[in-house]
């Protein structure tokens, strides 16, 4: 189910915002026809996890009314600590035997009871010269899956596809950027509570992890330093991100918080390099609402010692100019990559 393809709406249920898109696929390319985004209700989240479904259902229903799409099937992205994606190698064997071998391997790698998860996999490398199969193993807890299915279907849609946000991010990147087979790039989608961190080698996704750090660390640091409420701190952070005038102290706090955030990213980057000998990330693309934090991308370039630049989800994906203008597209560009990637499942991307 995680890898199937069908003409769908893309539905991204995040900790800070919820997005819904409809993409139209033509021989000339992909066109964004409909897009809607609303804030995720605070009462529905706790500690970066969904705790109350009904407020989210109400928001999704409002999004459905706003986009006015005839489509009823939805591709929904999973994320967070209940989802594990791991690259593994198994002995080369008859492909009919792989599912049983994957289940056995999963018991060694997955930190959950195997009976509590759905398993899937994708074969990365099955070259004749090699005596092993390289796989991308995916495990998602039943409890998390059921939440997303219930939200989607209670909203009036059919949850025809379950995807992984990191995979959707890869889909969006590959649809917009041309890469060579030996290129190794990282893509970061910085959300409020989580950062989707993926590494691609050519067109193959070889690493995928959700890091439990995001824009909320800046809000918490502003709140703590200035002795104000969390909503006030969030408002100041957003004002700074929009380049509006804020107290100098806010800018200083944000600058010092960059180090904390980049330390977390560096840790995952080090883990990737240690577990994938001989493969070095040469460039990083950055997106997500958190990427708008003043000075972050520039700081990342220095801290990670590699070029970092904003990801443009509309480099090759076009938009219906009768529906959207360029100013609106600029406003949503950092929030759109994952939901666009989910919507791209309709074009057969793996």
Q: What was the pLDDT predicted at 240?
A: 87
The reply to whether 1-82+144-176+315-350 and 178-312 are identical in fold is: yes
Average pLDDT over residues 188-208: 95
Q: Which residues contact 17 (CB under 8 A, 6 or more apart)?
A: 37, 38, 39, 40, 289, 335
Confidence band of 347 (pLDDT split at 50, 70, 90): very low
Average pLDDT over residues 1-24: 82
Give the Å distances, CA to CA, from 150 to 44, 93, 210, 331.
14, 38, 23, 30
DSSP H or E segment with residue 201 = strand 195-201
Percent of the chain scored above 90 by pLDDT? 72
**pLDDT per residue over 27-44, tens digit each?**
789 999 999 999 999 999
**pLDDT per residue over 306-346, tens digit each?**
999 999 999 999 999 999 999 999 999 999 999 999 999 86
Please tell me the pTM assigned to this model: 0.92
Tell me if the domain spanning 178-312 has CATH number 3.30.420.40.
yes
Orientation of helix 216-226 relative to helix 248-275, angle to 10°:
140
**pLDDT per residue over 255-300, tens digit each?**
999 999 999 999 999 999 998 888 999 999 999 999 999 999 999 9
Percent helix, strand, coil in the chain (nearest 5)? 40, 30, 30
In the CATH scheme, what is the homologous superfamily, with its name and number, of domain 1-82+144-176+315-350? ATPase, nucleotide binding domain (3.30.420.40)
> In 3-state terms, what secondary structure has residue 337?
helix
Q: What was the pLDDT predicted at 3?
A: 42
Average pLDDT over residues 19-23: 97
Eight-class DSSP state of 93: -
User: Could you state, in order of their start, the residue ranges of all structural domains in the chain?
Assistant: 1-82+144-176+315-350, 178-312
pLDDT at 301 over 70: yes
């Amino acid at each position: 189910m995680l890898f199937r393809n069908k003409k769908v709406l893309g539905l991204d249920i995040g900790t800070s915002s919820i997005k819904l898109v409809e993409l139209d696929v033509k021989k000339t390319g992909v066109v964004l026809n409909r897009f809607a985004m609303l804030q995720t209700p605070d009462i529905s989240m706790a500690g970066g996890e969904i705790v109350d479904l009904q407020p989210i259902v109400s928001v999704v229903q409002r999004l459905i009314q706003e986009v006015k799409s005839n489509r009823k099937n939805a591709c929904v992205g999973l994320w967070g600590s209940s989802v594990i994606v791991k690259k593994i190698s198994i002995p080369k064997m008859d492909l009919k035997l792989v599912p049983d071998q994957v289940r056995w391997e999963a018991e060694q790698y997955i930190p959950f009871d195997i009976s509590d998860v759905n398993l899937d996999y994708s074969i990365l490398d099955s070259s004749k010269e090699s005596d092993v199969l390289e796989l991308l193993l995916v495990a998602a807890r039943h409890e998390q899956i059921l939440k997303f299915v219930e939200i989607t279907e209670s909203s009036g849609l059919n949850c025809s596809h379950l995807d992984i946000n990191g995979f959707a991010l890869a889909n969006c990147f590959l649809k917009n950027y041309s890469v060579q087979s030996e290129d190794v790039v990282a893509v970061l989608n910085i959300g409020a509570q989580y950062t989707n961190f993926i590494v691609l080698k050519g067109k193959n996704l070889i690493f995928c992890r959700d890091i439990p750090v995001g824009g909320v660390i800046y809000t918490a640091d502003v709140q703590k330093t200035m002795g104000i409420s969390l909503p006030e701190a969030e408002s100041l952070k957003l004002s700074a991100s929009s380049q509006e005038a804020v107290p100098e102290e806010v800018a200083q706090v944000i600058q010092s918080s960059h180090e904390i955030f980049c330390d977390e990213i560096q840790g995952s980057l080090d883990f990737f390099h240690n577990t994938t000998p001989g493969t070095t990330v040469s460039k990083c693309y950055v997106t997500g609402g958190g990427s708008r934090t003043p000075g972050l991308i520039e700081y990342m370039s220095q801290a990670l010692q590699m070029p970092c630049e904003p990801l443009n989800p509309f480099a090759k994906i076009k938009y219906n100019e009768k529906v959207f203008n360029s100013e609106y597209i600029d406003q949503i560009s950092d929030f759109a990559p994952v939901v666009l990637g989910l919507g791209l499942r309709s074009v057969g991307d793996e």
